[in-house]
Amino acid sequence: MTNIHQFMTDKNSFSRLVKFSGILSLIFTFAMVTDCKKEEDDTALLLGALAAASAPAPAVPDTTAPAEVTGATLETTHGGSYDKVTWTDPTDADFDHVEVTFTDGGGTKRTVTVAKGIEFYDANTIATGTIFKVGTTVTIKTVDKTGNKSTGVSLNVTEIM
Ligand SMILES: [Ca+2]
């Protein structure tokens, strides 16, 4: 049997002990490195999640038409027939223009664009004496900068008594 004194003084035994310590130290270092690596991975994951959370949301395309015009009214500038339509533009920030569709006295269907802020259309712009055809409708649609168009407000062109 080898006692502790013999073990400690035996060069081979001591050398084995040193080697064994070295292996233990290697295992310990490996364990530490592995743990650090895991923390690095966790940090990378966390940073990735934070970046994803703070990144600006992808642009959502605008598909919303502006509100309708209000106070739409037919008027006559010559008496006898309606030839003018007036309204108030919506307040939507992206409102761009109005589209007026009507049938003129000669039966021709027309669509005209009226810029924001004008708030009226006179059929005499086409030719003096042009009127809205009785029995048809004048439709006013609002359009935004993206091109979204409202359903429209329609006015019936009736005979003026
Ligand atoms: Ca819009």
Higher-confidence residue: 9 or 61?
61
Look up tokens 């490996």; give the residue. 30
Tell me the CA distances in angstroms from 78 to 5, 82, 100, 140, 160, one per residue in order.
129, 8, 20, 22, 12
**Which two structure tokens, joined as six digits, stand for 78?**
């010559």
Q: How sure is the predictor about 67, in pLDDT bands with cuts at 50, 70 and 90?
A: very high
Q: How sure is the predictor about 33, in pLDDT bands with cuts at 50, 70 and 90?
A: low
Higher-confidence residue: 64 or 36?
64
Give the count of alpha carbons within 13 A of 117, CB side only: 1
Q: How sure is the predictor about 142, in pLDDT bands with cuts at 50, 70 and 90?
A: very high
Residues with CB under 5 A from ligand 1 (ion): 62, 64, 94, 144, 148
Give the whole-angstrom CA distance, residue 36 versus residue 32. Answer: 6
Mean pLDDT of the chain: 84
- Catalogue the E-assigned strands of the chain: 70-75, 84-88, 95-103, 109-115, 120-122, 137-144, 153-156
Cα of 36 vs centre of ligand 1, distance in Å, is: 52
Tens digit of pLDDT for each residue in 84-139?
A: 999 999 999 999 999 999 999 999 999 999 999 999 999 999 999 999 999 999 99
* pLDDT over threshold 60, residue 8: no
